[in-house]
């Protein structure tokens, strides 16, 4: 069996931990396979075979986790490179006040006016003395925003910015 040594950056603690766990499970798998070859008792062989299958599953999960962690690290490096490029080209620093994603209002500063323009206001009956607000569904509001102003918003995001 050929073991390929995976490269892990020095500052990637989660990748190191997952890789160490994967190596530990791989040695356990090799020991279980040797025990399976030596054992003559059918019940013991069955138990060892079940442990081999579960260990292989754990190894596959750890491999998947390492792959995900490496992909996330690559995305983070790409984001840092993009911010450095903005800094060098435009002398512009992108920094947000709070954790999490930036507000959608940074991207679309006139969002509230655009929502207001997409909603139909009208009079109800004369005796009611109330104003009627017409929007069939959030889906229709989303499509109107996209058609008129080329602003795409997810349904949950749009619900966040709708005033009650």
**In the listed set 60, 90, 120, which residue is the last one of a domain according to the structure?**
90
pLDDT value at residue 131: 63
Same domain for 116 and 81?
Answer: no
Question: What does the pLDDT read at residue 137?
Answer: 76
Closest C-alpha to 66, from 17, 26, 114, 28: 17
pLDDT by residue (tens digit) across 55-70? Answer: 999 999 999 998 999 9
Give me the pLDDT at residue 129, please. Answer: 63
Indicate the pTM of the whole model: 0.49
First to last CA, the chain: 64
What CA–CA distance (Å, rounded) separates 102 from 157? 12
Radius of gyration of the chain (CA): 29
Report the alpha-carbon distance of residue 94 to residue 50 in Å, rounded: 53
- The residue segments making up the domain with residue 152 are 104-161
Q: Which of 28, 57, 90 is the C-terminal boundary of a domain? A: 90
pLDDT for residue 1: 47
Does residue 27 belong to any structural domain of this protein? yes
Q: How confident is the model at residue 87, as a pLDDT? A: 79
Residue 89 pLDDT: 82
- Tally of domains in the chain: 2
Establish if 2 belongs to a structural domain.
Answer: no
pLDDT digits (tens, 9 = 90+) for 69-89: 999 989 988 988 888 887 788
Q: Where do the H-state alpha helices sit in the chain? A: 13-38, 42-90, 104-107, 111-118, 138-149, 155-161
Those residues of the chain that have pLDDT short of 50 are 1-2, 164
């Amino acid at each position: 069996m050929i073991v390929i040594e995976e490269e892990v950056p020095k500052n990637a603690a989660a990748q190191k931990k997952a890789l160490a766990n994967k190596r530990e499970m791989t040695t356990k798998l090799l020991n279980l396979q040797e025990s399976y070859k030596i054992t003559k008792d059918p019940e013991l062989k069955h138990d060892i075979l079940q442990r081999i299958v579960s260990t292989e599953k754990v190894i596959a999960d750890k491999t998947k986790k390492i792959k995900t962690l490496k992909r996330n690290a690559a995305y983070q490096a790409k984001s840092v490179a993009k911010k450095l490029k903005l800094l060098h080209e435009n002398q512009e620093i992108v920094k947000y006040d709070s954790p999490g994603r930036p507000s959608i209002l940074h991207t679309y500063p006139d969002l509230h006016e655009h929502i207001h323009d997409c909603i139909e206001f009208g009079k109800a009956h004369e005796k009611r003395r109330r104003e009627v607000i017409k929007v069939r569904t959030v889906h229709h509001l989303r499509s109107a925003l996209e058609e008129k102003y080329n602003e795409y918003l997810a349904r949950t995001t749009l619900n966040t910015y709708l005033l009650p």
